[in-house]
Amino acid sequence: MAENSAAQDGSLFSPYRMGKFSLSHRVVLAPMTRCRALNGIPRPALAEYYAQRTTNGGFLITEGTLVSNTAAGFPHVPGIYSEEQVEAWKKVVDAVHKKGGIIFCQLWHVGRASHRVYQPGGAPPISSTSKPISSRWRILKPDGSYSTYPEPRALEAYEIQDVVEHYRKAALNAIRAGFDGIEIHGAHGYLIDQFLKNGINDRTDEYGGSIANRCKFLMQVVQAVVGAIGAEQVGVRISPAIDHLDATDSDPLGLGLEVISRLNKLQADLGSRLTYLHVTQPRYTAYGQAESGRPGSEEEEAQLMRAFRKAYQGTFICSGGYTRELGMEAVAQDDTDLVSYGRLFISNPDLVLRFKINAPLTKYNRKTFYTQDPVVGYTDYPFLNRDSASQGPLSRL
């Protein structure tokens, strides 16, 4: 971490060496589900969307991408488990590479944050538990309506290895599609977080109870993926202090530090580092629904993030509620190496340029976050400079 950032000028717009990747600045595209991959297949609009947000030497993380046919909990999310999906992703990756970007594919399984309509044969979704997500939360169904989350089926211990295997295969597929690496989505109340957090995980076998047991599934996934594609192409995302989808834990600091110490140990054993650790700020809960975070002072949140940043031996990315100024401050104070931006990047495809010259930002329209139109609310946000706006007429396809 600091060894690299200290060597450079410590600004959001300074270059950064992330393992084998040379980044030209620290502004990262955060992974964001956009529901434009009809029936799970990335279409040309995705190539245009990601290319629009690419800068030479910029780092992008894709939307959550399904590792298997039981992984979905949103409509029209792309997968990376079939040949057709791999072929379709190649075009997206090529479009980003042509502009000099570096792109990781985020591997996702939603676990119990699903519904029978998304499951093969209408089966119940899988999880660490058979407790459903509370009625505080609603699931978006393919017909655009919302409903409560159904009761999941707790995986038997012997089934877990099959799920790990899905992540491993998906990682190999991502590399075949040309991605520079993958990010394991261990955050925001989805499957891996459903094992990590004691507010959800009520297992009595070796995957539940102690923090060590709750970390087991994540670490098996990390090890399998690292074994398949190499540590230097693997990032991990966690959100120990985020209660999205009821993902609460009685000791977020202890949980985060335990995950980090395991990742550090794995790195030491391997003699090589993961590409990065990506942590979501506590203030960013209930994304897509509220702007503000959970109770807790900014200072408490900053301390938690600093503890994670300090403990992790490698590149650190933070995310959640960062403005241009907060991002600049975080990098300048060495609270992070990189900052990932979500909502501001949706509505400002040239966010990096706008940040650099401190230009006004376009406001995002929440109503089109999860709609299927390949243009509206997706690739039609304006650029400052119209010449860099279009990749051609791809977006209408």
**Separation CA 214–CA 209 (nearest Å):** 7
Which residues 6+ apart lie within 8 Å of 129 measured at CB?
A: 112, 152, 154, 194, 200, 201, 202, 203
Cβ atoms 66, 79 nearer than 8 A: yes
Tell me whether residue 265 or residue 366 sits nearer to ligand FMN (CB atom).
Answer: 366
Smallest gap from Cβ 100 to ligand FMN, in A, equals 22
Tell me whether residue 101 or residue 321 sits nearer to ligand FMN (CB atom).
Answer: 321
DSSP for 13-74 reads TS-EEETTEEES-SEEEPP-----SGGG---HHHHHHHHHT--TT-EEEEEEEESSTT---S
Cβ atoms 153, 127 nearer than 8 A: yes
Smallest gap from Cβ 346 to ligand FMN, in A, equals 7
Smallest gap from Cβ 75 to ligand FMN, in A, equals 13
Residue given tokens 């956009």 in the structure block: 34
Smallest gap from Cβ 254 to ligand FMN, in A, equals 22
190 in catalytic set: yes
Tell me whether residue 126 or residue 192 sits nearer to ligand FMN (CB atom).
Answer: 192
3-state percent breakdown (helix, strand, coil) of the chain, nearest 5: 40, 15, 45
Cβ atoms 196, 215 nearer than 8 A: yes
Residue 58 phi, psi (nearest 5): -85, 155
> Which residue of the set 167, 190, 276, 322 is catalytic?
190
Smallest gap from Cβ 144 to ligand FMN, in A, equals 16
DSSP annotation of 273 reads: -
Residue closest to ligand FMN when measured from CB atoms: 342
Question: What are the tokens at 380?
Answer: 């039609």
> What 3-state class would DSSP assign to 246?
helix
> What does the binding site for ligand FMN look like in residue numbers (CB under 6 A)?
30-33, 63-64, 106, 185, 187-188, 237, 280, 284, 287-288, 319-322, 341-344, 369
> What 3-state class would DSSP assign to 149?
coil
Cβ atoms 277, 18 nearer than 8 A: no
Active site members: 190
